[in-house]
Amino acid sequence: MREFNRLIKKMGIRRSYLFLLLLRAPFDALRTLMLSCLMRAVFFSLESENAASLPGICAGYGLLCAVLFLYNGIIWSRYAAFSAHAQVRLQKAMLRRLSGLSLKQAESRCGGDWLTRVNGDVQAAFTMMNGPLNLPHLAAAVVNTTLSCLLLLRRSMVFFGITWFFLFLQLLFNYLIVLRPPAEWKEASLSAAAATVSAIRPVITDSETILIYDAKDLMLKNCEAHSRALLRLQMKLHIRNALSDMVMRLCGIGGYLAILLTGSAGIFDGDMAFSDIVYSFQVRGSIMAGTIMLVTCINNLKANSVCVGRINDMLSEGRISDEK
């Protein structure tokens, strides 16, 4: 985050970006509140044998849902245009910086590394700004999780404790097994990708020379070795994500069953209605989704911040001008 803050400050867009981020953040929390109240109202009407009120309830919440999604669409359209303009400015600044390098500086790195910085790193910075499960969803997840915790705590402290018990197990697993290694692996993956591009480029550009010296097999084996190294690094990341998904599903089902068993005792004792359990299910699902989104966003931000740091290292000091 420090590298990204440094970049948007250098571009002179920090205030505008934070303002758009704050406008987008409440959407998930408002949707959670609306859906939870809708489910409780519907099931309470069915329990109280007041089915005649269902059309009015559904129509009212349908109108609120339409207004909420209209607001979200307007904000996202502004946000997407702003991010696309920032990406163009950043890529032009990177190209200007690259064209202004001295011969000694240009030859200090391989050609694949420069191509990765101009294309891949800029795309990673744009993904961090506007992509799925990055900064926009991080802000939304924080607001949504906070509101959902307050709603569930107000409904039942027992349900709140069950939810966070299973959630803590999942977060602990994610931190120890999934979240810690990927930043280093992402850096190694970027280096391996640059090395792969550098190994493949001579096969295309110097093909006649390779045929003259009968070095075709040697060059192809070199490309294969670099490609396999990159594949092994990427497979490590995929395996960690698969383990995280497995634990998430197990903890999710276990938490629902625990709330259902605890809530059934409360129903038999007359302390709560089934509509309260449905309401708690909805809020608990929002807490789980928001927290998992939060962890995933942090994981993605840590990986993408490596690319943003490389951009900051390449760019000169000062603000990035908005040149046409």
Q: Where are the domains of the chain?
A: 2-314
Alpha-carbon dihedral sign for residues 29, 164, 136, 19: positive
Q: Which residue is listed with tokens 């990159």?
A: 230
The Cα 13–Cα 137 span in angstroms is 19
Q: Which residue is listed with tokens 């803050």?
A: 5
Q: Would you write out the chain's pLDDT as a tens digit for each of its 324 residues?
A: 777 787 788 788 888 888 988 998 888 888 888 888 888 888 888 888 887 888 888 898 889 989 999 998 999 888 888 888 888 888 787 777 777 766 676 666 665 566 666 667 777 778 888 877 788 888 899 999 999 999 888 888 889 999 899 888 877 877 776 656 656 676 777 777 777 877 777 777 777 777 777 777 887 888 888 888 888 877 877 787 777 778 878 888 888 888 888 888 888 877 788 888 888 888 888 888 888 888 788 878 887 787 787 777 777 644 444 444
The Cα 217–Cα 214 span in angstroms is 8
Q: Are 82 and 136 in contact (CB under 8 A)?
A: no
Phi-psi map region of 45: left, alpha, beta (phi>0 left; psi -120 to 50 alpha): alpha
The Cα 18–Cα 80 span in angstroms is 14
Q: Which CATH superfamily includes the segment(s) 2-314?
A: ABC transporter type 1, transmembrane domain (1.20.1560.10)
Closest by alpha carbon to 23, among 128, 127, 125, 140? 140
Q: Retrieve residue 317's tokens.
A: 């000091």
Cα dist. 16→23, 25, 70, 78 in Å? 11, 14, 21, 11
Q: CA 102, 312, 118 angle in degrees (round to 5)? A: 65
Q: Give the model's pLDDT for residue 322.
A: 46
Q: Per the confidence metrics, is the pTM higher than 0.75?
A: no
DSSP 318: S
Polymer length in residues for the chain: 324
The Cα 96–Cα 88 span in angstroms is 12
Cα dist. 277→144, 158, 188, 283, 291 in Å? 20, 12, 47, 10, 21
Q: Give the model's pLDDT for residue 180.
A: 62
| Phi, psi dihedral angles at 307 (to 5 degrees) | -65, -40
